[in-house]
Amino acid sequence: MRRDAVHVMIKTICSIIAVLYASMAAEAQDLLQQSDIPFGTVVHEQSFQGKGLYGYIDGGAEVYYEYGFVRLTVTNIDCAEEKLSIELYEMKNPLAAFGIFSINRGQCASIDSLFKFSCVDPYQIQGVQGAIYFRIVSESGSPAARQSSRRIAALLKEKFPGESAVIASLFATKELQPHLAALRFASGPLGVQNGIPDLSDAFEGMNNFAAYVLPFEIDSTQIELIDASFPSHDDALQFAMRMGFAGDTSQDEKPAGIGRKYLWWKTPLHVLSLSSSAAGSALTPILQMIKAYERP
């Protein structure tokens, strides 16, 4: 082989190695390092990308892919004789991170304003920071483990700065903001099945929608509000029909019982639905707010 050809080949190989090294270095910058956790010892770390998530979550990875999974980093640490696991799910955007959090949080209680969306139970802290959904899990659930988990959560906020999920402005209103701990977001059928299974029939056969669902209570009246956008008008019409309405005009009806159902068409692709267990004055400010609402 000619010397100049060998030189070109070596130069090409070196360039490829440099690109790969830079890519690996950029990826490593996103992972937790020992220096990030001065009060604990990192004992193991692993990362899952692409279809690799199936190797970590047995039977439940599909819903993460539906929301837009990018990568999972799992860091195990020993901290003051406690064993903790930190799971960082990098999603395609902050709303996707909020969505997977919203269907995973279960009944855990909200924590204070450290994060806009977070919750805690004796064995774990879950939350959203930018496009990351995180879980900090302890084996013992002891007070010491909970304190260490909280310190790690504070470190995550410093290490991964980013905007919180920008949810629909409807839920930033003073009427609904107090109830956001129950808000769910789904963008496909698996999100509905895992987070709001009672509405599976309403979204059956549909994909690529964006549905916020908020169940809450005012003055002993049970209310469920759905804010849904669809990729086609046919899907929106199908949803309206399954909610008990026909056509594409705003309607309300009083069923045989004492409750009431409402449907608002904001655009041919954007529909809001509300059902209540009773009719009464408690609903009035909610109805007025929704009637005036227009998504930006």
- Which helix (H) or strand (E) element contains residue 24? helix 3-29
User: Is the pLDDT confidence value at 209 over 90?
Assistant: yes
Does some domain include residue 18?
no
Does some domain include residue 8?
no
- 122: domain CATH number is 3.40.1000.70
Quickly state the pLDDT bin for 170 (edges 50, 70, 90).
Answer: very high
More confident residue, 92 or 28: 92
Is residue 173 located within the same domain as residue 155? Answer: no
Q: What integer pLDDT is reported at residue 11 of this predicted model? A: 44
Does some domain include residue 115?
yes
Asked which of 131, 159, 187 is the last residue of a domain, the reply is: 159
Does some domain include residue 12?
no
Q: What integer pLDDT is reported at residue 164 of this predicted model? A: 66
Q: What integer pLDDT is reported at residue 200 of this predicted model? A: 96
CB 240 within 8 A of CB 248: yes
Asked which of 127, 159, 191 is the last residue of a domain, the reply is: 159
Name the one residue in this structure whose structure tokens are 């029939």.
Answer: 201
Does some domain include residue 2?
no
Give the least confident one: 6-15, 42-51, 197-206, 233-242.
Answer: 6-15
Is residue 283 located within the same domain as residue 173? Answer: yes
Is residue 194 located within the same domain as residue 107? Answer: no
pLDDT (mean) for 113-129: 87
CB 260 within 8 A of CB 279: yes
CB 266 within 8 A of CB 290: no
Asked which of 141, 159, 177 is the last residue of a domain, the reply is: 159
Is residue 207 located within the same domain as residue 106? Answer: no
Q: What integer pLDDT is reported at residue 121 of this predicted model? A: 87
More confident residue, 238 or 19: 238
Does some domain include residue 60?
yes
pLDDT digit string (tens) for 177-203? 889 889 999 999 999 999 999 999 999
Is residue 209 located within the same domain as residue 285? Answer: yes
Q: What integer pLDDT is reported at residue 111 of this predicted model? A: 67
Domain hosting 48: range is 33-159
Is residue 249 located within the same domain as residue 195? Answer: yes
Does some domain include residue 136?
yes
Domain count, the chain: 2
- Phi, psi angles (nearest 5°) of residue 21: -65, -45
Residue 133: beta bridge partners? Answer: 89, 128
Is residue 246 located within the same domain as residue 178? Answer: yes
pTM across the whole model: 0.84
Quickly state the pLDDT bin for 28 (edges 50, 70, 90).
Answer: very low
Is residue 175 located within the same domain as residue 155? Answer: no
User: Is the pLDDT confidence value at 287 over 80?
Assistant: yes
More confident residue, 123 or 296: 123
